[in-house]
């Protein structure tokens, strides 16, 4: 079992693509992990993507804007893959674009993503070291040509770690039967675990089976983590949507994919419209809708709100539950609305509903992004073909105190104890003084009473003598 820190990288709004027919798989926020590759090892930072198969590194060391490139010429364990090999001919069949043979008879791969970014290069093998585990001859793409609309931000990472069910994915080659991750909803941290999650504090998981269709279909990704979506609830209200809407059709359109490479979640038109309508109905009294038909965030999120800049917190919102077969994922609070960076309308900031319309993107699928996976323990069980879910908050561990800090704390505690003892002594003295004063007053009052009684007695005697 390997436990690794997971970081969340935020990408500025200025570099967000706004093309209405592109799904922003690798933009806004990405999950990254650090490891080493090669002999001697070179440090790399990779984006975790459960929606991709091939792991790849940027190998173009001549580009100044990619300071984190992997240099294959510095690694003695680096080996290119020939196009005549079984790896190139048989194991690349699930690639969106088939592998080819370049002029040097090496296996050539071209990857194209839905956000219009792409990578191109040769397949190779090298030694990967992640945590305490080392694997030799791991197949990956050594890309010398990349295109991205976010080149400045993408340059912060060396490449991508493909984690889907394909035979060449990182997790498949490592041979782990399962992996898990949890993304914190409060800071830019998380946890990636490779292997069995034998963690005592982990609550029991609810499992939903992975769906597999053996027959190749034009719109069905056979190596994606596909689950069966069965419904959507707003608060406790199950939306009146026929279950047939959630079942892939004869072309494969309509599958539900769990994808860490996508930030938000996207639903096909009829389901999105039903959710949008009900969420509007339940928030009419607490949220003000942005009345601007031309504003569609990321080309698919057309339900946005105006929130006063002076308002530090969002009002109480209804929960949205994504109902899978055997499990539910509940989205609440600030995970339902996303503040659009740099967008201000008068004295209001702009927040958008974090579910988008797949139809506006031309995507024939439901996609569950990692924004809605925050504070959820996600287990991908490859051995038993299922995904486990459990609501779980991940908090950053407190920094271990130094010896000096411990000594300072002990000294402060001793000083506080001395002060408390002194205060107790002063209180006891004050109480004793008050007691003595009370006794003196009582004695004086008794003496006065005795004198008064004596005087009354004398007066009575004098009166009797007169009579």
Q: Catalogue the active-site residues.
A: 49, 259
Structure tokens at 429: 């003295």
Structure tokens at 366: 């439901």
- Given a contact cutoff of 8 angstroms between Cβ atoms, the answer to whether 292 and 247 are in contact is no
Look at the chain and count its residues: 467
Nearest by Cα to 346 from 317, 314, 310: 310
In whole angstroms, what is the distance from residue 354 CA to residue 197 CA?
30
Distances (CA, A) of 145 to 58, 59, 63, 98, 325: 8, 8, 10, 17, 42
Q: How many CA atoms lie within 13 A of 351 on its CB side?
A: 21
The partner residues of 337 in beta bridges, in order of sequence, read 353
- DSSP-derived secondary structure for 323-339: EETTEEEEE-GGGSEEE
End-to-end Cα spacing for the chain: 115
Q: Which H or E element spans position 129?
A: strand 118-130
């Amino acid at each position: 079992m390997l436990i690794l820190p997971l970081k969340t990288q935020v990408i500025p709004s200025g570099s967000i693509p706004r093309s209405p027919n592109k799904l922003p798989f690798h933009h806004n926020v990405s999950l990254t992990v650090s490891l080493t590759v090669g002999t001697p090892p070179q440090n790399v930072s990779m984006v975790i993507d459960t929606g991709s198969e091939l792991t790849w590194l940027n190998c173009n060391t001549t580009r100044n804007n990619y300071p984190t490139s992997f240099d294959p010429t510095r690694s003695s364990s680096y080996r290119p893959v020939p196009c005549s090999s079984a790896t190139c001919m048989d194991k690349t069949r699930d690639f969106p674009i088939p592998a080819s043979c370049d002029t040097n008879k090496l296996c050539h791969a071209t990857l194209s993503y839905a956000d219009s970014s792409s990578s191109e290069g040769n397949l190779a093998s090298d030694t990967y070291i992640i945590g305490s585990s080392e694997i030799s001859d791991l197949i990956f793409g050594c890309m010398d040509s990349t295109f991205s609309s976010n080149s400045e931000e993408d340059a912060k990472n060396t490449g991508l770690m493909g984690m889907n069910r394909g035979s060449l994915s990182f997790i498949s080659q490592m041979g782990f039967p399962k992996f898990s991750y949890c993304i914190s909803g409060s800071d830019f941290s998380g946890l990636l675990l490779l292997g069995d999650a034998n963690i005592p504090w982990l609550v029991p998981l609810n499992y939903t089976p992975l769906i597999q269709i053996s027959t190749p279909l034009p719109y069905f990704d056979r190596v994606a983590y596909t689950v069966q979506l069965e419904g959507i609830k707003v608060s406790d209200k199950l939306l009146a949507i026929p279950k047939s809407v959630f079942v892939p059709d004869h072309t494969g359109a309509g599958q539900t994919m769990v994808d860490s490479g996508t930030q938000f979640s996207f639903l096909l038109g009829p389901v999105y419209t039903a959710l949008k309508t009900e969420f509007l109905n339940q928030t009419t009294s607490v949220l003000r809708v942005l009345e601007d038909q031309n504003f569609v965030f990321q080309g698919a999120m057309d339900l946005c709100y105006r929130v006063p800049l002076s308002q530090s917190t969002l009002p109480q919102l209804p929960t949205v539950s994504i109902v899978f077969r055997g499990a539910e994922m509940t989205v609440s609070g600030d995970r339902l609305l996303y503040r659009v960076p740099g967008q201000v309308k008068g004295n209001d900031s702009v927040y958008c509903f974090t579910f988008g319309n797949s139809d506006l993107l031309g995507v024939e699928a439901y996609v569950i992004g990692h924004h809605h996976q925050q504070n959820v323990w996600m287990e991908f069980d490859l051995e038993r073909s299922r995904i486990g879910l459990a609501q779980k908050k991940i908090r950053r561990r407190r920094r271990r105190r130094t010896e000096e800090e411990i000594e300072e704390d002990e000294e402060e505690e001793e000083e506080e104890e001395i002060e408390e003892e002194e205060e107790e002594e002063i209180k006891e003295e004050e109480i004793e003084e008050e007691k003595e004063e009370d006794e003196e007053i009582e004695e004086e009052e008794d003496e006065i009473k005795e004198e008064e009684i004596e005087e009354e007695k004398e007066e009575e005697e004098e009166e009797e003598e007169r009579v």
